[in-house]
Amino acid sequence: MLKKRLIPVLLLKNGFLVRSFKFHRHNSIGNPLIQTQRYNDWSIDELIFIDITRDGVYDLRRDDQKLKGVSSALEVLRVVSKTCFMPLTFGGKIRSLEDMSVRFENGADKITLNTVCFEDPGIIEQAAKKFGSQAIVASVDIKKHADGSYEVFSHNGSRPTGRRPVEWVKFLESRGVGEIFLNSIDKDGTGEGYDLDLIKGVVDSTNLPVIACGGVGKYEHFVEGIKSGGASAVAAANIFNFKELSDRNARRCMIDSGIDMKPV
C-alpha cells in the first residue's frame, strides 16, 4: 500500500537556509546546498523548498563551501534537481502562471501557492488545468485565536484573511488543488509538537492528501501527526537541521510505531 511520507522543509531567505520561529524570527543556518547533499543518501521521501526572501537579495557567494555560489533560490532548485532524484516541491512568491512555469523549468515537480490564492483565486483553476492538479500544492498557514478558533493567514503569516481552515481547504479542493501543505504559525519553531486538532479537522474535511507542518521537536511528534492527526505526510524544518541523522532516525521511529514507510 501507499506509504506515509516524511518531508524535510528548507526555508530559503536571501539564498541562505534559515530556521524560523512563529513565522517572524529567522536565523541563518548555512548553505542549502550542503544540507540537501545530506538528503541525497536516499532515505528521504520528498523535499519542500520555500523561498521566504522579501527584499530579493541573494548572496551565497561569500560562502566558501567547495560549491559554486548560487545567487537565487531558483538556482538552488536547479542545482539540487541535478543530483536529487526525488520529488521536489518549490514555493514562495509565486504570483503568476509564468512564475510557475519558471519553477517547473528549473526542476520543480510541484509548486506551492499561498497568498496568490487570495489575491487571484481564478489562477488556481488555470494552474491545475495547465500543469495538472497533482503539481499544485496549496500552502495554508493557520493561527489559533485565544478563543480556540482558527483563522487562515496570508502574506507569510502576516495578514488575517477572515477564512476558516476547513472552509478554505474545501474551496481550494473545488478549484483543483492536488494537495494541502498545512502549517501552524503558533507551533512553528516551538518544538512542542503538531497542532493535532487542527490537522485532524482539516484531514476529515477533505479528500486531498494533507502534509502536516509546524511544531516538531522530537521524532514521536511525526508519529502523532500520522496516527492522531491522520496526515498523509509529515513535514518539519528545524529538527532536520539540528539533529544528526535525523532523517533516518525519524523514519526508524515511525516504522517502529507501526507506520508503513519506505524502508530506511
Task: Return the H-helix or E-strand segment holding 172.
Answer: helix 165-174
Burial call 56-84: b when 16+ CB within 10 Å, e when fewer = eebebeeeeeeeebbebbbbbbebbbeeb
Could you tell me the three cell numbers for 240?
532536520
Smaller CB distance to other proteins: residue 5 or 187?
5
- Number of residues engaging other proteins in binding (CB under 8 A): 35
> Could you say whether residue 207 binds other proteins (CB under 8 A)?
yes
Could you tell me the three cell numbers for 61?
557567494
Which residue in 61, 129, 145, 155 binds other proteins (CB under 8 A)? 129
> Could you say whether residue 3 binds other proteins (CB under 8 A)?
yes
Could you tell me which stretch among 123-131, 140-148, 163-171, 239-247 binds other proteins (CB under 8 A)? 123-131
8 Å CB contact between 48 and 61: no
User: Looking at residue 53, what DSSP letter applies?
Assistant: -
Which residue in 28, 54, 120, 132 binds other proteins (CB under 8 A)? 132
| Alpha carbons within 13 A on the beta-carbon side of 64 | 0
Which residue in 59, 68, 71, 105 binds other proteins (CB under 8 A)? 105
User: Looking at residue 135, what DSSP letter applies?
Assistant: G
Phi, psi of 192 (to 5 degrees): -85, -10
> Could you say whether residue 106 binds other proteins (CB under 8 A)?
yes
Smaller CB distance to other proteins: residue 109 or 220?
109
> Could you say whether residue 262 binds other proteins (CB under 8 A)?
yes
> Could you say whether residue 83 binds other proteins (CB under 8 A)?
yes
Which residue in 19, 37, 38, 104 binds other proteins (CB under 8 A)? 104
The rounded radius of gyration (Å) of the Cα atoms in the chain is: 17
Please state the closest distance from residue 27 (CB atom) to other proteins, in A: 31
Residue numbers at the binding site for other proteins (CB under 8 A): 1-5, 42, 45-46, 81-83, 85-87, 104-107, 109, 129-135, 178-179, 207-209, 232-233, 262-263
